[in-house]
A and B are shown apart, each in its own frame.
Chain A
Amino acid sequence: MGTRPESRVQEGDREYRGRGQGSGLAALAFEHFRGGLQRYLVRRLRNGEDAQDLAQEVYLRLLRFGDEELVRRPESYVYRVAFNVLCEFKLSTGRDPVAFDSETVARLAEEFPAEELSPEDAWSQGSRQQRLDAVLARLPAMQRAVFLLAVRHDVPHEKIAHELGVSLHTVRKYLYRSLHYCRQNLGHE
């Protein structure tokens, strides 16, 4: 017996609303992309043209939201819209023709947050992590420390600046630079 989608709606809805507004959301926001969804997103983004299609679609849907609405929690909207678009993409590129049935919908809705990997996914994730490690290893030591402390260990930027004896400005500069370096070296293949 799987969870019924209806009960998930209520539960999810309540919890979603129950969360406070504007409190350090961005730090949490990228956790939206976990498990299957994150792997799928990365795979789509790695293909340049797919990434453009995806971004274009998300962009067009974002335009229809009023600014007031978006400004409250912009990143939540971006991720939510991206999630919807990804679900549609995933369906439309499926090998088998899909006929509507409520069970499939419920299953797909549950599939994304799942943590288990298929052997194929596990392999591709393994090799991706290896590539990521290699890219990170090429960063200058200071830059790498700043990046990993902030991203992997959630160390506040001020604390990083203090521990490494650099300015807050430098911490931020290193962060942006490192992330872009990863993006360049992992991006469109």
Chain B
Amino acid sequence: MKSRVSDAERRIVGEDAAKWLFELCETGPADRAAFVAWLKESPRHVEEFLFATATISEVRDGAKRDSPDAGAADDEVRRLIAQALAKRTDDTVVPLADAHTSGGSPAAQQSRAPAHWGRTRWTLGIAASVVALALGVLAVPALLSLYDDRYATAVGEQRSVKLADGSVVYLNARSRIEVDYSEAARDVRLIEGEAIFKVEHDPTRAFRVRTEDALIQALGTQFNVYRKPEGTTVAVLEGTVRVSSSEPAITLDSIAATELTAAERPSPAQVNLTAGEQTRIGAGGIIEQPARADLSQVVAWRERRLVFSADRLASIADEFSRYSPRRIRLEDEIARNKRITGTFDADDPESLVLFLEKLDELTVVREGEDFLVSARK
């Protein structure tokens, strides 16, 4: 189960959310930037902000019921103020009681308040209905993609999708899946990119993920599949999966028929992978020997971290392009083949560039939003 946070932490986040909600209307760009930074800090902040919104909205709904017209609303305003002041032991400040006893007829007081408060509410109502209309419309593209059972993410976007059986797919940036559920099986095609599949246990219906190179079958487990042009990598986080190549051509017979060097060992038609193992299925349908996987590296993308160990800069630049529209363009072979080890913030190619600039053999030129990397002459 998901861990719950402490009461103290919840109070801080809750009051922060309230603060933002009440004060956004009075803020300038700097404060709005701070609000955005706060939201991006944690899904919990988003949750509290949404909850604060829903609560406020409910409280306002109560006003419609309790005080349907301006007169009733003003009565409530006066009642609230009077009640609050009655409870005050501090008797040095009694502004409204003064107004009540000293000033004018009841009618005069009534007309003062509604003119101001009533108009405010009216303006809010008009603007709100316009926004509601616009929102209703904006939702339509999202609905379309859902009906299609195709899910895709854009550059930099990650999302989780809950499928009909309760299985969850976490889609990395620039990825695409197609879901095809039937009585007999739960089929998902990973057309592009990378995803973690958290499969709901169902012994009667296999969960199958296909890429161009591989077929991965599971009953109830969690695994990551990354489809790259040169092959598909499968890593298992939990449970067991069966991996086979999607090319039926590779059988022991056909392998035996050809001359093989020691390096080209016969590839098994299928391999069982258990938690902590990974394998790669190449374009020719060759399944590599399962190896230990660094699971924290495998799932780092969910935290939008990119982890590289002696990887070519060409593939690193490729990885960054899934998260950020800012291109890292490699101008020559030295730049493309430079190997880098490190952990980077996926949304911030600048962090990689700052690192590259420190290297003796490379030089970086900024061109608009892009970075041009080449060998230092």
Instruction: Write the residues of chain A forming the contact surface with B, with a CB cutoff of 8 angstroms.
Output: 5, 8-9, 11-13, 15-16, 19, 22, 24-35, 38, 41-42, 45, 48-49, 51-64, 67, 70-72, 74-76, 78-80, 82-85, 87-88, 91-92, 97-100, 105, 108-110, 112-113, 128-129, 132-133, 136, 140-142, 144-155, 157, 162-166, 172, 175-177, 179-180, 182-184, 186-187
Q: A19-B130, A87-B143, A183-B55 are in contact. Are A45 and B50 (CB under 8 A)?
A: yes
Chain B, 119-149, CB within 8 A of any chain A CB: 120-121, 124-125, 127-128, 130-140, 142-144, 146-148
Q: Specify which of B22, B29, B52, B144 is in contact with A105 (CB 8 Å cutoff).
A: B144
**Closest CB-CB distance, B243 to chain A, in whole Å?**
28
Inter-chain contact A32/B60, CB cutoff 8 Å? no
Q: B197 at the A/B interface (Cβ < 8 Å)?
A: no
A148: chain B residues within 8 A (beta carbon): 59, 76, 80
Inter-chain contact A62/B40, CB cutoff 8 Å? yes
Q: A64-B157, A165-B95, A187-B51 are in contact. Are A15 and B22 (CB under 8 A)?
A: no
Inter-chain contact B46/A55, CB cutoff 8 Å? yes
B57: chain A residues within 8 A (beta carbon): 30-31, 33-34, 38
**Closest CB-CB distance, B31 to chain A, in whole Å?**
10
Interface of B is mostly: helix
Q: B87 at the A/B interface (Cβ < 8 Å)?
A: yes
Could you say which of A48, A87, A151, A176 has the most chain B C-beta atoms within 10 Å of its C-beta?
A176
Q: A154-B117, A165-B94, A180-B14 are in contact. Are A88 and B59 (CB under 8 A)?
A: no
Inter-chain contact B157/A16, CB cutoff 8 Å? no
Extra inter-chain contacts (6) besides given A12-B135, A55-B44, A129-B65, CB under 8 Å:
A42-B58, A59-B43, A61-B159, A145-B83, A148-B59, A183-B14
CA distance A79 to B43 in the complex (A): 14
Q: A41-B54, A70-B36, A92-B164 are in contact. Are A5 and B43 (CB under 8 A)?
A: no
CA distance A70 to B12 in the complex (A): 24
A82: chain B residues within 8 A (beta carbon): 50
**Closest CB-CB distance, A32 to chain B, in whole Å?**
6
Report the nearest B residue to A160, measured CB to CB: B81
Question: What mask results when residues 72 to 115 of chain B are scored 1 for a CB within 8 Å of chain A, else 0?
Answer: 01001100110111111010011110000000000000000000
CA distance A58 to B45 in the complex (A): 11
B316: chain A residues within 8 A (beta carbon): none
Question: What mask results when residues 151 to 192 of chain B are scored 1 for a CB within 8 Å of chain A, else 0?
Answer: 000111111101010000000010000000000000000000
| 15 sample A-B contacts, Cβ–Cβ < 8 Å, listed by A number | A13-B134, A26-B24, A28-B124, A60-B159, A61-B157, A63-B158, A63-B304, A64-B156, A67-B37, A74-B32, A78-B50, A109-B143, A149-B77, A163-B96, A182-B55
Inter-chain contact A177/B60, CB cutoff 8 Å? no
CA distance A78 to B116 in the complex (A): 30
CA distance A180 to B140 in the complex (A): 33
A110: chain B residues within 8 A (beta carbon): 136
B377: chain A residues within 8 A (beta carbon): none
Inter-chain contact B143/A142, CB cutoff 8 Å? no
Could you say which of B23, B49, B87, B135 has the most chain A C-beta atoms within 10 Å of its C-beta?
B135
Q: B47 at the A/B interface (Cβ < 8 Å)?
A: yes
Q: A74-B35, A78-B50 are in contact. Are A99 and B2 (CB under 8 A)?
A: no
Q: Specify which of B43, B52, B138, B155 is in contact with A179 (CB 8 Å cutoff).
A: B52
Inter-chain contact A13/B33, CB cutoff 8 Å? no
Inter-chain contact B2/A52, CB cutoff 8 Å? yes
